[in-house]
Amino acid sequence: MSDVAIVGAGYVGVPLAQVFAEARVSTVLVDVDAGRIAALNEGESYIEDVPSDQLRPLVESGAISATTDYDALRDADAILVALPTPLSVNREPDLSIVLGAVEEIAKRLRPGHLVVLESTTYPGTTREEVLPLLAATGLQVGTDFHLAFSPERVDPGRTDWTTKTTPKIVGGITDGCKAAACALYERAMDRVIAVSSPEAAELTKLLENIFRSVNIALVNELAQLCDRMGVDVWEVVDAAATKPFGFMSFKPGPGLGGHCLPVDPFYLSWKAREYDFYTEFIELAGKINENMPYFCLDKITRALNSVEKSVKGSTVHLVGVSYKADVGDLRESPALKLVELLRDEGAHVSYHDPHIPALPEYGLESASLDGALESADCVAIVTAHSGIDYDGLADRARLVVDFRNATGANGSLNGRVWKL
């Protein structure tokens, strides 16, 4: 018996379960991955934002449990769906995981149930895709059961704003659905903000991600121009950020990663085509951001050329391969694209990442940084994890290409350091 069932025990589901459990809302996590379920029931977390020492007491007290059995949904008052929403090979929305799960939910739907979709998706998904599957049971939305959309806004690794403290947006199919979903989240979250419809809630989440994608593309484009002009883009961005109003600082880098930014905006551009509408900012930002690993290859090529070496036959050691600092998330990481591009050109690639012990699909294991500093022809800083001595790295390596400004001003004083 639990108050809430969360389908999908990943980066979103596990922190959500913790927030509910700590608010004395008992929670069951339902996932198809038996290994993950076994770990959770041992109180062992594989999600960095929820350390095992915080999870274990919640599991031991029974506030959090985990199962692969969808029948656990029957006893819960609310069912939250936090499942992946990837793109297909043709870069179109792939809702098969979510809709497959909704079919399982429909088999267990009963009067009184509240169902909330938390997965990022295009406007219309809750009403046009999820509702018909649940309504086919004969139960009436708004009277027999409630249905809402509430986007998860978690930023893994972030500590100043968390699942609990980040305001929760809620849009219901009916006013009753909205009220039921708000009442649930108000039991655990600091602030709940209702919007008029699931579509508004779905689009809110996409706007947030598109805003980031477009602004990162803007500085990535500027970085490429600065490279030609011989201007330090990092200095320009930092100087602009001193303006107390009207500017928000975004940093350039080797490209977008993670489950959200490289994927979610295209959910909206796909849906927009149904309305004869082309979302040009989204496409342009995608084009610029996807080109960044190619630009990084070009920069490494020129850096090696400056010391009379070719990429072919050179050893290039990547520092940091997860998609952002201090997390072990590899999804869509631009470092993986860079490994492929460098290998295509004949480079010998090695890497160091304290959060990623191995890249089995590339036949690589994280190698010691010390050894690489002596032997690599080029060290490329792709993701700047904390705890690494970047000044020491800049001093000791033969050649450094720094895509994150980790070496800062020290790097630019050293002729062997090339910056993005």
Ligand X SMILES: NC(=O)c1ccc[n+]([C@@H]2O[C@H](COP(=O)([O-])OP(=O)(O)OC[C@H]3O[C@@H](n4cnc5c(N)ncnc54)[C@H](O)[C@@H]3O)[C@@H](O)[C@H]2O)c1
Residues assigned a catalytic role:
260
Contacts for 280 with CB less than 8 Å, ≥ 6 apart = none
Minimum separation from the CB atom of position 251 to ligand X (A): 18
Give the x-and-dash track for 145-184 against ligand X (CB under 6 A): -------xxx-x----------------------------
Residues 304-333 that bind ligand X (CB under 6 A): none
Minimum separation from the CB atom of position 59 to ligand X (A): 16
Select the residue interacting with ligand X from 33, 129, 144, 345 (CB under 6 A): 33
DSSP state, 414? S
# of chain residues touching ligand X (CB under 6 A): 27
Separation CA 86–CA 95 (nearest Å): 7
> Using the rule CB under 6 A, is 93 a contact of ligand X?
no
Q: How far is CA 100 from the centre of its chain?
A: 22
> CA 94, 322, 154, 30 torsion: positive or negative?
positive
Q: What are phi and psi of 241, to 5 degrees?
A: -70, -10
> Using the rule CB under 6 A, is 202 a contact of ligand X?
no
> Using the rule CB under 6 A, is 19 a contact of ligand X?
no
Exposure on the CB side of residue 211, measured as CA atoms within 13 A: 8
Exposure on the CB side of residue 139, measured as CA atoms within 13 A: 22
Q: Which stretch binds ligand X (CB under 6 A): 5-13, 193-201, 303-311, 375-383?
A: 5-13
Nearer to ligand X, 82 or 388 (CB): 82
Separation CA 238–CA 279 (nearest Å): 30
Q: What are phi and psi of 272, to 5 degrees?
A: -60, -30
> Using the rule CB under 6 A, is 50 a contact of ligand X?
no
> Using the rule CB under 6 A, is 411 a contact of ligand X?
no
* Residue at token pair 């803007």: 218
Minimum separation from the CB atom of position 126 to ligand X (A): 13
Name the nearest CA neighbour of 40 among 48, 32, 29.
Answer: 29
> Using the rule CB under 6 A, is 55 a contact of ligand X?
no
Minimum separation from the CB atom of position 77 to ligand X (A): 19
Alpha helices in 152-279 (DSSP H): 175-186, 198-229, 233-240, 264-273
> Using the rule CB under 6 A, is 133 a contact of ligand X?
no
Nearer to ligand X, 37 or 173 (CB): 37
Beta strands in 289-338 (DSSP E): 315-319
> Using the rule CB under 6 A, is 299 a contact of ligand X?
no
> Using the rule CB under 6 A, is 11 a contact of ligand X?
yes
3-state secondary structure of 170: strand
Select the residue interacting with ligand X from 177, 181, 260, 397 (CB under 6 A): 260
Which parts of this chain interact with ligand X (CB under 6 A)?
7-13, 30-33, 36, 82-85, 97, 100-101, 119-120, 152-154, 156, 259-260
